[in-house]
């Protein structure tokens, strides 16, 4: 009897927690995205007044509208922010893949005794503050910063480059911050790979390059997909990097949402922005989940 009850309690506690603090909030965001802006606290209406019972709820429902969503299509700031977020996240994802792959490959082919240390070295930056790692780049990239200082002293440039407060700085920031997320899944697939397959391919006449594209890369695809999703999804909604490294012309939807909320205090529009962003990410998030679940099933076997 204790076992049955225990099982129910075990499931119910985390289940209820996530329902209340993860799922329910989304429905609140959804509801507020259909509300209208008001100068009051909270700054929107209708608010559901449960004391008036059913008629109150009905009256509140009647006042909900699609105005905020219509607004998102009318002001092209939002559409441009969405598109530019997708573009920046996609481009950074590809750069991160190109930068991360050789690192993961090098780790997977390193002598076995070295691998735990190398793994540790990749994970360690992930543990140190994100904000601090982004901040570190300000000192490097700014006009009188360390990179310009180095390049001028080496005589490579005579005019300091403007990198900080441009999209280039945002790309650098995303690649740098999310690199461990790309390297770790790549490493875990590459490490399990049977490298004698490559020797076989080469024995059969493949050049090292074609052996890579025909054998190594296809076998590492699960890691590539996982790494790309882990970089792409959070990067689309990124706020800190475009805000600190990007310029005024850098449009990203996370920043737009933040400004809508904190500067314009327009909660309904901020909610509508969040809902659209979520819709954009639903497919990649579902793919990511399937991948994690399949991974777990494979581990269990």
- Contact flag: residue 7 with another protein (CB under 8 A): yes
Task: Encode 167-176: b = buried (16+ Cβ within 10 Å), e = exposed.
Answer: bebbbbbbbb
**Taking contact as CB under 8 A, which single stretch among the options 21-29, 66-74, 196-204, 215-223 is the one that binds another protein?**
21-29
Q: Which residues touch 23 (CB under 8 Å, ≥6 apart)?
A: none
CB 138 within 8 A of CB 245: yes
Give min distance, CB of 70 to another protein, in A: 21
**Taking contact as CB under 8 A, which single stretch among the options 16-24, 53-61, 62-70, 213-221 is the one that binds another protein?**
16-24
Query: Which listed residue (34, 78, 82, 176) binds another protein by CB under 8 A?
Result: 176
Q: Please state, in angstroms and rounded to a whole number, the distance separating the CA atoms of residues 67 and 272.
A: 10
Q: Which residues touch 104 (CB under 8 Å, ≥6 apart)?
A: 182, 183, 184, 186, 187, 190, 223
DSSP-assigned beta bridge partners for residue 45: 36
Query: Which listed residue (73, 207, 210, 289) binds another protein by CB under 8 A?
Result: 289
- Identify residues 228-267 at the interface with another protein (CB under 8 A): 229-230, 233-234, 236-240, 244, 254, 257-258, 261-262, 267
Tally of CB atoms within 10 A around 256? 23
Binding-residue total with another protein (CB under 8 A) = 95
- Identify residues 130-159 at the interface with another protein (CB under 8 A): 130-133, 135-140, 142, 144-146, 149
- Identify residues 82-121 at the interface with another protein (CB under 8 A): 99-100, 102-103, 105-107, 109-113, 118, 120-121
SS3 110: coil
**Taking contact as CB under 8 A, which single stretch among the options 57-65, 74-82, 214-222, 279-287 is the one that binds another protein?**
279-287
Give min distance, CB of 288 to another protein, in A: 6
Q: Please state, in angstroms and rounded to a whole number, the distance separating the CA atoms of residues 241 and 177.
A: 9
Query: Which listed residue (25, 52, 66, 83) binds another protein by CB under 8 A?
Result: 25
Q: Please state, in angstroms and rounded to a whole number, the distance separating the CA atoms of residues 165 and 246.
A: 4
Structure tokens at 276: 């659209």
Give min distance, CB of 233 to another protein, in A: 4
What's CA 280's distance to the chain center, in Å?
12
CB 151 within 8 A of CB 140: no
Q: Please state, in angstroms and rounded to a whole number, the distance separating the CA atoms of residues 83 and 76.
A: 11
**Residue number with CB closer to another protein (42 or 218):** 42
**Binding marks (x or -) toward another protein, 188..227, rule CB under 8 A?**
----------------------------------------
Asked if the bond preceding 11 is cis, omega within 30° of 0, the reply is no
Give min distance, CB of 167 to another protein, in A: 19
């Amino acid at each position: 009897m204790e076992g049955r009850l225990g099982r129910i309690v075990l499931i119910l506690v985390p289940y209820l927690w996530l329902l209340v603090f993860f799922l329910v909030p989304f429905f609140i965001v959804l509801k507020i995205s259909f509300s209208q802006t008001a100068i009051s606290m909270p700054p929107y209406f209708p608010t559901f007044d449960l004391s008036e019972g059913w008629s109150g709820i009905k009256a509140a429902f009647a006042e909900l509208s699609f105005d905020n969503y219509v607004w998102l299509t009318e002001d092209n700031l939002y559409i441009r922010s969405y598109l530019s977020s997708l573009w920046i996240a996609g481009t950074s994802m590809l750069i991160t893949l190109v930068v991360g792959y050789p690192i993961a490959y090098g780790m997977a082919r390193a002598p076995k005794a070295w691998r735990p240390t190398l793994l540790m070295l990749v994970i360690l930056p992930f543990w140190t503050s994100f904000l601090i790692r982004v901040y570190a780049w300000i000192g490097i990239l700014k006009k009188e910063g360390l990179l310009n200082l180095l390049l001028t002293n080496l005589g490579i440039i005579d005019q300091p480059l403007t990198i900080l407060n441009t999209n280039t700085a945002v790309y650098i920031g995303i690649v740098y911050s999310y690199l461990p997320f790309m390297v770790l899944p790549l490493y875990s697939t590459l490490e399990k790979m049977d490298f004698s397959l490559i020797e076989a391919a080469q024995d059969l006449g493949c050049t090292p390059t074609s052996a890579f594209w025909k054998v190594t890369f296809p076998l590492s695809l699960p890691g590539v997909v996982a790494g790309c999703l882990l970089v792409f999804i959070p990067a689309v909604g990124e706020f800190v990097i475009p805000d600190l490294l990007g310029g005024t012309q850098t449009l990203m939807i996370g920043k737009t949402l933040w400004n809508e909320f904190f500067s314009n205090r327009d909660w309904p529009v901020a909610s509508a922005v969040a809902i659209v962003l979520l819709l954009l990410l639903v497919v990649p998030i579902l793919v990511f989940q399937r991948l994690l679940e399949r991974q777990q099933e494979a581990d269990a076997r």
